[in-house]
Amino acid sequence: MYRSTRDLALALGCVLLGCCVECLARPLEFRLALGRDAAPVVVRVARSEPLAPATEGEPEPSTQAPQAQGRHESWDGDSAKFFTGALAGFLGHEAGHVIANTIEDTRFGLKSVRFGPIPFFTIEPGRELSPREHYVTASAGFNAQHLINEWVLHKYPDLKNRQEPLVKGLATFNFWLGVGYAGVGLLGAGPDERDTKGMADGLGWSEETVSGVILIPTLLDAYRYKHPDAKWAKDTSRAVKLAILLLALAADD
């Protein structure tokens, strides 16, 4: 009764939310109703002195607006690499669940399920799990995301200003998956296999509380992306991630 149904649904949601995820894929810019490929508006300041006439053979000054430098295209200039990174994020989350189920020897298998009209699969344990096993296997996907994010933010502290579509796709997927899970958990919506519900059941907590805890490092990592020198955000994010991992000790066997 585990996880992948919601993971796949949210993965598709991340693809459909392409316009939104550009907040991580490139620096924030305001279009002000201009088309995506429109040239930037150039404001020319009037000068009091007259312009010197162009000498013979000297090229006329160009009145064409200069190309904006350093402007990243959608998906950081390479949609194939960007979505490959997003796929890697999905596989990383799922790998966390597979590893945890293997360690806990849940004798899991794949089960065909449907999310509305769309067919999916889910990871199904072959035996009854204790509350601690339930929490460990349910939280494993988030723990995998947290490790991946720490690697990304450590290796690429200036990621916002670099053209790294693969890495940005990975980080973007992790962000929206965390936000999606937290939102669904706070609303109590979606299938019973969702990770936040599994974690809450294992701890005996409300799903709203677990969802809020999951949202904290997700938002802090997004802040760290925009402000890589914010030590308080890094320390707080890491502390909450460690707490999520250690909460397994609070689940009753």
Find where tokens 């013979």 sit.
56
pLDDT at 211: 97
pLDDT at 201: 93
Q: How far is Cα 32 from Cα 46, in angstroms, rounded to an integer?
A: 24
> Region 219-227: what's the mean pLDDT?
96
Burial 179-188 (b: 16+ CB within 10 A, else e): bbbbebbbee
Q: Please, is 73 exposed, middle or buried when counting C-beta atoms within 10 Å of its C-beta (0-12, 13-18, 19+)?
A: middle
238 with 137: CB under 8 angstroms?
A: no
Q: How far is Cα 136 from Cα 199, in angstroms, rounded to an integer?
A: 8
Q: pLDDT-derived band of residue 3, with 50, 70 and 90 as boundaries?
A: very low
145 with 92: CB under 8 angstroms?
A: yes
Structural domain spans, the chain: 4-25+73-250
Candidates 69, 2, 20; CA nearest to 180 is 20
Structure tokens at 241: 């991630």
Q: Is the pTM of this model over 0.85?
A: no
pLDDT at 77: 84
pLDDT digits (tens, 9 = 90+) for 40-77: 444 444 444 444 454 455 555 444 444 434 444 578 78
Q: Compare 17 and 249 and report the one with higher pLDDT.
A: 249
pLDDT digits (tens, 9 = 90+) for 137-193: 999 999 999 999 999 999 999 999 999 999 999 999 999 999 999 998 999 887 778
pLDDT digits (tens, 9 = 90+) for 6-50: 444 444 444 344 434 344 434 333 333 334 444 444 444 444 444
Q: How far is Cα 61 from Cα 20, in angstroms, rounded to an integer?
A: 40
pLDDT at 105: 93
Structure tokens at 13: 């949601």
pLDDT at 118: 63
pLDDT at 159: 93
pLDDT at 73: 58
Q: How far is Cα 4 from Cα 111, in angstroms, rounded to an integer?
A: 10
